[in-house]
Chain A
């Protein structure tokens, strides 16, 4: 599984395993689904210069949408 090091604004580093990225038309945003310490997490991200800025302030609707995408992807995997 691919791993990246995410750094927050305080300089804390997290080793994340990225599961997938997803662009959603309704919200017009790119999303990132990943795991840190066995927790499945999700954020939105955008590219600024040569960095991806990862925002963790998602609405419940966005989490619902991403949960459905996870369900669908895993369903396709097992189909």
Chain B
């Protein structure tokens, strides 16, 4: 039975394990071979999904093909239509697996929501079950709705570190590299339709970081005021609702939006329609107590992007996605411009662990790595490598060049004390 291993980075590499060898040999398939294999897989129905190890599953198809994929592969589908169809197919199967027990409970309790029998739970002694016997049950949570926050083991092989969780299973022991033309790889600056889910109920204590960055101060040149005049109320509403800092988002929109003529501003958030239309966002809703356990879910349409509100919703939802996937406001902001998968792609490319670059404490290092990666991959011409400075210049900093950016991340309220080092240094000179 042929088994194929999918790498998450836009399915750029598909490996085929050669049967009958003591040490598995994996061959990176050509783009044509990958396309043919995906066609065969998509033409067949899923017959079973088995957990191989944590966060890794083997999917069996009716035509006796199997594929091995990681959670990351499912979490970050790209916009290659074949890969999208494959991830959708797998997620639909898993969702059905997840919902089946809940449906049966609903029937059993006639629609009433049951509560846990705490007494009986506490009376049970410590139990165990072997991984092999756990069957498909522990697939629940494998889907996109639950974020596993555990730190992965260090990757042993930088060639396919994007497999992340299970290098021993998903990293080919021997790899014959074969370049796949870039035109088969989807653009990086696309949205993933899924936002990872904050699960905490109670807000924890604040975290605070200080970031020094050099940027011009153009908050007084009128552009920010015009942004506020046209979009202030909408931005205030959605930033507050989705746990984002209004001041930074207004600065970002000031950078993004085209000029407003006769009250008309086309595509204020500069959304690339082909990547966003028909995508569904599920955005966590926050209030002053933190995550409310509720979500705003919406599907982007061309009409919605043509409206101020729909355009802003899509832009902010994508920013929220970038932040949640990097645990960082600053890195998330940069990824809005450089493409949400860029940090993972950069770490994969250079052989680093993504987790080492997550968080606001690592934001500047992460942005530097992303710049280095996209610069190398695109001959120094990709997006706006000065994007942070170009956004920050519209922040209404105080006379010492400082401003607080407050936002929510999962269960925590985070404060970024951003200092304009250029302003600070010029103050010292006076």
Contacts and interface: CB of A to CB of B under 8 A. Distances in A.
Nearest to B117: A39
Interface string A6-50: 111110101001111111111010100101101111110001001
B63 interface: no
Contacts of B430: none
A63 B411 contact: no
B101 A20 contact: yes
B146 interface: yes
A21 B101 CA distance: 12
B258 interface: no
B101 A24 contact: no
Given A51-B130, A52-B128, A52-B129, A78 B106 contact: yes
B149 interface: yes
Nearest to B291: A25
Interface in B95-117: 97-106, 108, 111, 113-117
Contact of A10 (B114, B125, B130, B293): B125
A53 B115 CA distance: 23
Interface stretch (B28-36, B133-141, B186-194, B379-387): B133-141
Contact of B126 (A3, A22, A56, A70): A56
Interface in A40-79: 40-43, 47, 50-58, 60, 63, 65-68, 70-75, 77-78
Chain B interface residue count: which class? Answer: 35 or more
A70 B113 contact: yes
A24 to B, nearest CB: 6
B147 interface: yes
Chain A interface residue count: which class? Answer: 35 or more
Contacts of B126: 8-9, 53-56
B1 interface: no
Contact of A33 (B103, B116, B129, B132): B116
Given A20-B102, A68-B293, A58 B138 contact: no
Contacts of A74: 102, 105-106, 113
Contacts of A40: 105, 114-117
Contacts of B103: 77
Contact of B125 (A9, A20, A21): A9
Contacts of A67: 115-116
A52 B97 contact: no
B149 A23 contact: yes
Contacts of B200: 24-26
Contacts of A23: 141, 146-150, 199
Contacts of B101: 1-2, 17-20
B122 interface: yes
Contacts of B202: 26
Contacts of A71: 113
A33 B115 CA distance: 11
A2 B252 CA distance: 48
Contact of B131 (A17, A20, A24, A47): A47
A28 B111 CA distance: 31
B201 A43 contact: no
B128 A2 contact: no
Contacts of B135: 2-4
Contacts of A75: 113
Given A22-B199, A54-B128, A77 B293 contact: no
B429 interface: no
A58 B108 CA distance: 25
Contacts of B100: 1
A70 B117 contact: no
Contacts of A1: 100-101, 104
B121 A42 contact: yes
Given A20-B101, A21-B146, 16 more contacts: A4-B134, A14-B124, A21-B141, A22-B199, A25-B149, A25-B199, A26-B201, A40-B115, A41-B124, A51-B128, A52-B128, A53-B126, A54-B126, A58-B122, A67-B116, A74-B106
29 contacts: A1-B100, A2-B97, A2-B137, A6-B127, A7-B128, A12-B125, A19-B140, A20-B102, A20-B140, A21-B141, A23-B150, A25-B149, A26-B199, A28-B149, A30-B141, A39-B120, A40-B117, A42-B121, A43-B121, A50-B130, A51-B131, A53-B127, A53-B128, A54-B127, A56-B123, A58-B118, A63-B121, A70-B116, A73-B102
